[in-house]
Amino acid sequence: MGDTKVRELRILIADDHGLVRRGARGVLHSRNGWRVVGEAANGREAVEKTIKFKPDVAIMD
């Protein structure tokens, strides 16, 4: 068998409610291979952080 490296999934969370962002971050951090690279409280911030952090997935409200 060859060595297979699993690529980490980079995630951005965007929601205007801090409690929702914290809850989502907690759930996502518990998954192996998933990493929250940023959080945003509004659309403008989500666009800026997407450009900066280049996530694979953005979870948005």
Domains of the chain: which residue ranges?
9-60
Tens digit of each residue's pLDDT (9 = 90 or more) over 19-48: 999 999 999 999 999 999 999 999 999 999
Phi, psi torsion values for 2, nearest 5 degrees? -85, 160
Q: Which residues pair with 9 in a beta bridge?
A: 34
Q: Is the pLDDT of residue 7 over 90?
A: no
Contacts of 31 (CB under 8 A, 6+ apart): none
Choose the CATH number for 9-60 among 3.40.50.150, 3.90.1150.10, 3.60.10.10, 3.40.50.2300: 3.40.50.2300
Q: CA-to-CA distance for 15 and 10, rounded, in angstroms? A: 17
Question: Two tokens at 33?
Answer: 């291979």
The pTM of this model reads 0.85
Contacts of 16 (CB under 8 A, 6+ apart): 41, 42, 61
